């Protein structure tokens, strides 16, 4: 039997008291665990999951069932529990979930939608199962070129930005801004491959290792030293799971730096400023995973006319859009009224903002769909920060 990561946690999982701090925001004003908020049964709380993982995979008191899979895979890996659990082992909560998933993937017990996701990545390098040859279609009518040795940055777009029609626009927007700023960069085009962040979150350790190997080889062959990512998910994988052979930035960090050192000037771009009230949604893989809360806000605040209104739940208390951990594809959370994305969109709308800004292609597609479901599209626009910046730059 292959030793999975769960082995490393088997003396820790039972330490969860099921006390429920992990369900809340930090002031207990609301529930902040996406699946618990929707399902409300204790089984769907982080503590419930810990107890079930322990009972099924460690103590082997209960059978593995489809509903257990569902409980495990509704977790969006948003890390709210890590942030809110008061115990010393809190840092490992999502690692335990991931390790449990690894175990069930290993035992071929993963739900069909997860299997599809993983097989698609394996075959086509993306979860949608779209042909590899179409990966760069989003860039067709742009001047964005392929990465060449010597370019300063590799622009890694990721699967969602490459294939999801709504997010493709964000991918183009960022490309346009980078072109305009004169940065030397390029994309891998059809040679780009999934970074594997979600593959890892879904528990396919072997495939994730393979993706790392392939990507690293490609980066080495091309002499890549710096990567800028559209997606915080890719940023997270590159920064925390890949060998430290290159420097990686999320695009909000790069744009923030470019504003600071004068390479990008948003203050003079539009005569009358932007004149919009904006609320910003923190993506989990940028915020809670990597502590980057300021860069996007600094960019927004540097735009004349922008009034930034915070949602009640922001920064480390931000409520996940529900798309993390592969849920943007597997959709274990559904799209009913109580789905996280729709709850989040209503929260954004309640601020009175006209635009809900995100800095993640996954959040963009999730929240964009939710706005439509809520019939709020006339009142609240969902935009990626890259699209806002492009607009300011009159591109």
Query: Which residues of the shown chain bind ligand SF4 in the complex (CB under 6 A)?
Result: 16-22, 46-47, 50, 81, 85, 87, 90, 93
Q: Residue 370 CB, nearest distance to another protein (Å)?
A: 19
Q: By the 8 A CB rule, do 37 and 80 touch? A: no
Residue 55 binds which one of ligand SF4, another protein, none, with CB within 5 to 8 A depending on kind? another protein
Q: How far apart are CA 232 and CA 356, in angstroms?
A: 17
In the complex with ligand SF4, the residue whose CB is nearer, 43 or 126, is 43
What residues line the site for another protein (CB under 8 A)?
Answer: 11, 14-21, 23-24, 27-29, 39-43, 48, 51-52, 54-55, 59, 61-63, 65, 67-68, 71, 86-88
Parallel/antiparallel/unpaired status of strands 381-384 and 306-308: unpaired
In the complex with another protein, the residue whose CB is nearer, 158 or 322, is 322
322: phi then psi, degrees, rounded to nearest 5: 95, 0
Q: How far apart are CA 90 and CA 225, in angstroms?
A: 34
In the complex with ligand SF4, the residue whose CB is nearer, 87 or 128, is 87
Q: Residue 218 CB, nearest distance to ligand SF4 (Å)?
A: 38
Residue 300 binds which one of another protein, ligand SF4, none, with CB within 5 to 8 A depending on kind? none
Residue 128 binds which one of another protein, ligand SF4, none, with CB within 5 to 8 A depending on kind? none
- Evaluated on CA atoms 112, 68, 361, 200, the torsion sign reads negative
Angle, CA of 252, 280 and 97, to the nearest 5°: 80
In the complex with another protein, the residue whose CB is nearer, 17 or 265, is 17
Q: How far apart are CA 272 and CA 319, in angstroms?
A: 33
In the complex with another protein, the residue whose CB is nearer, 52 or 266, is 52
Residue 93 binds which one of another protein, ligand SF4, none, with CB within 5 to 8 A depending on kind? ligand SF4
Q: How far apart are CA 384 and CA 280, in angstroms?
A: 10
Parallel/antiparallel/unpaired status of strands 276-280 and 355-358: parallel
Q: How far apart are CA 183 and CA 51, in angstroms?
A: 50
In the complex with ligand SF4, the residue whose CB is nearer, 89 or 246, is 89
Residue 28 binds which one of another protein, ligand SF4, none, with CB within 5 to 8 A depending on kind? another protein
Residue 85 binds which one of ligand SF4, another protein, none, with CB within 5 to 8 A depending on kind? ligand SF4
At 120, list the tokens.
């698609």
Q: Which residue sits closest to ligand SF4, CB atoms considered? A: 47
> DSSP character for 250?
E
Q: Residue 67 CB, nearest distance to ligand SF4 (Å)?
A: 20
Parallel/antiparallel/unpaired status of strands 306-308 and 276-280: parallel
Q: Residue 336 CB, nearest distance to another protein (Å)?
A: 9
In the complex with another protein, the residue whose CB is nearer, 63 or 141, is 63
Residue 81 binds which one of ligand SF4, another protein, none, with CB within 5 to 8 A depending on kind? ligand SF4
In the complex with another protein, the residue whose CB is nearer, 39 or 274, is 39
Q: How far apart are CA 345 and CA 323, in angstroms?
A: 13
Q: By the 8 A CB rule, do 175 and 139 touch? A: yes
In the complex with ligand SF4, the residue whose CB is nearer, 87 or 293, is 87
Nearest one of 68, 63, 99 to 332, comparing CA atoms? 68
Q: Residue 32 CB, nearest distance to ligand SF4 (Å)?
A: 12
Q: Residue 6 CB, nearest distance to another protein (Å)?
A: 14
At 45, list the tokens.
């709380």
124: phi then psi, degrees, rounded to nearest 5: -115, 0
Q: How far apart are CA 71 and CA 53, in angstroms?
A: 10
Q: How far apart are CA 69 and CA 391, in angstroms?
A: 43
Residue 52 binds which one of another protein, ligand SF4, none, with CB within 5 to 8 A depending on kind? another protein
Q: Residue 394 CB, nearest distance to another protein (Å)?
A: 43
In the complex with another protein, the residue whose CB is nearer, 2 or 41, is 41
Strand partners, 81: none
Residue 362 binds which one of ligand SF4, another protein, none, with CB within 5 to 8 A depending on kind? none
Residue 11 binds which one of another protein, ligand SF4, none, with CB within 5 to 8 A depending on kind? another protein
Q: Residue 377 CB, nearest distance to another protein (Å)?
A: 27
DSSP string spanning 111-149? -HHHHHHHHHHHHHSSTT---GGGTTGGGTTS---B--T
């Amino acid at each position: 039997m292959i030793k999975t990561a769960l082995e490393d946690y088997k003396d820790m999982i039972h330490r969860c008291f099921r006390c429920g701090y992990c369900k809340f925001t930090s002031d207990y004003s609301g529930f902040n665990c996406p699946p618990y908020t929707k399902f409300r049964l204790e089984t769907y709380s982080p503590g419930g999951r810990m107890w079930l993982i322990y009972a099924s995979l460690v103590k082997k008191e209960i059978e593995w069932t489809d509903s257990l899979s569902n409980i495990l895979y509704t977790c969006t890996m948003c890390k709210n529990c890590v942030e809110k659990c008061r115990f010393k082992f809190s840092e490992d909560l999502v690692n335990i979930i991931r390790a449990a998933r690894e175990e069930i993937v290993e035992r071929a017990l993963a739900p069909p939608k997860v299997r599809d996701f993983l097989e698609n990545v394996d075959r086509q390098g993306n979860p949608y199962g779209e042909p590899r040859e179409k990966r760069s279609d989003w860039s067709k009518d742009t001047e964005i070129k392929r990465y060449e040795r010597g370019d300063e940055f590799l622009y890694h777009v990721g699967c969602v930005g490459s294939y999801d029609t709504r997010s493709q626009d964000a991918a183009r927007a960022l490309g346009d801004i980078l072109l305009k700023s004169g940065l030397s960069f390029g994309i891998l085009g059809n040679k780009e491959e999934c970074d594997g962040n979600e593959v890892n979150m879904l528990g396919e350790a072997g495939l994730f290792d393979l993706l790392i190997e392939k990507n690293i080889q490609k980066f080495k062959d091309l002499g890549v030293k710096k990567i800028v990512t559209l997606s915080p998910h890719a940023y997270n994988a590159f920064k925390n799971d890949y060998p430290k052979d290159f420097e990686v930035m999320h695009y909000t960090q790069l744009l923030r730096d470019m504003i600071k050192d004068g390479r990008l000037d948003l203050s003079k771009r539009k005569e009358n400023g932007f004149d919009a009230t904006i609320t910003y949604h923190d993506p989990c893989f940028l915020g809670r995973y990597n502590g980057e809360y300021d860069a996007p806000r600094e960019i927004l605040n540097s735009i004349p006319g922008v009034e930034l209104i915070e949602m009640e739940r922001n920064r480390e208390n931000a409520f996940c859009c529900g798309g993390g951990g592969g849920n943007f594809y597997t959709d274990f959370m559904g799209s009913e009224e109580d789905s996280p994305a729709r709850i989040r969109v209503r929260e954004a709308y309640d601020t009175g903002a006209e635009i809900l800004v995100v800095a993640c292609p996954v959040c963009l597609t999730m929240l964009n769909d939710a706005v439509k479901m809520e019939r709020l599209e006339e009142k609240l626009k969902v935009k990626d920060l890259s699209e806002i910046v492009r607009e300011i730059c009159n591109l």
